[in-house]
Chain A
């Protein structure tokens, strides 16, 4: 989609303003129901689009992404444009700087339509935990779009954006992409800068892309990837353009299917779709190999201990002093009383729950048995992937054990909600790149719901996994 739009813009067949108007029109028409956007920057988007048209009129060559309208997940800072992280505690917060990924998109002249909804502080798998609104799945509005990048996925699936940035700590790009029938990529840890991204689990977080096709995801990823002096955890990059690596040929590729991922808890309908996708990969010339990731069973607990501990540290900055919601400071007895009031009023229920769990696990007497132990198990999980990748080039699994569930279905049962992440978290623990791409759909109560397949690659092999998904798509 992006390439075709780009060619039409460059040739003058369509205008950037016209394109922005079209997507803003879709937001006006649909978003009352879908609820993907928290903030729409109509004026900013149109002013920018106008400048792109002026450049084209002067005969200049524009970058691939110039004038292409997209949305940014609201945990990514945008200078001058409200950023809430889906939380009351940041209601009305206007960042004084933009995240590096936003600066890079601006350098490529993309049109940013606005900020999209998420579970508060990226903590959730349904986008039901935002302080602002519940986002609906465009395929069935009684169901969740997934989370935490539910707004990003819903916006693209509903045609309210061509592309969207999301973030993924334990599946938050891949799972909503699967639920909404889209391509969603979480790059290798360190591939994309986290500067200006409100942190959830600092050793797990990565910004990535949700789009309609593998090529579109590749194009946006090329824009945002790269080493950043502001992020010491970002990795050296050769500045490759991922869209240049889409050959559409995977003959001879070895694809591993981990036996631990195909057991109990996997929905029958999803399993059937997955098995067909495996056959399709075979027909494309890939060799399917059964592999084992022996520590899979401990991955979910490992993930939640690490993520929640890191979250509790990261949330310490929300003290209502430099920014944040303030409930009558004069009425508080002391600074501590003030902090407790600000945080008690500003954090939602799920955040409080995670904050409490993380604080408990890090407290004296528990640190060794929880966080320290989890970081050791994590080393074992990474080793599982290292061993697997000696035998195969890619790993293929269902993205989620089930299709999109109904809104309200599990907001009362935190553990049930956490279990949805089971196929995704090992990826973040190991730091490897992974994407979800559509592989079919299942019939649930007379509605066809999308199903995604997850392709996991070796560290820094974004080219490989994007090409694999691209090849599948093309056939």
Chain B
């Protein structure tokens, strides 16, 4: 009897194997459009004509737009066109491909990006700030409170009013700037993205609008964006440090982004005049008016 049972099990195993192989064989090579092939390398455009095209991080778009307006007002040539935000990574790719003349970045270049051989020109340092709806009474956040906000454990402030965090998208360089000051924020934010605990905004404009219109809202944004728009939001001190120009320069306010232009070496002449204007006293004064701090010439971010 046991021999019969053993034979039966073997027969069933063989039949199962054949039956499972049948659909595999029946569908081999059919169905589906196949995986994407390797990408085609883009042709790079080394020369350009007409206006200087500037695009990149949203953290620098407003600043560059005002500088371009000032450049145009004084009859600067060639003209400068500032495109809407592409992000720092998009700007570097676009500059490398020759699609734009000047890229705007608000973070250090990665080793792969440095290997592209682009030239980097530091322009300014801007503060990454935690801003809040006017209904939020406290004007400062301790670093512990900042962590608790991201962890979702701080839902009320000292006055008993509710508070909620608004997040920027994952790729936003303002996050990295905060993480350099409070390293634990990276993991807390990742968990918040995964659990979809907080609302996510994709642009400074959207963030500032949300902060201004949502009672109890607190979120990360750029000081230049707030100053330029005259937004009705409160800028909070972090860890007891106000985001002043002095604090930015001496490093006591550590959530900062260094803003820079990147360009191909062969376009240096094309962009030289505008970059020179930005780094001139007139340009520096405009940068200060917008809430950022001009940086020394030639230093890589």
Whether chain B is bound by chain A comes out as: no
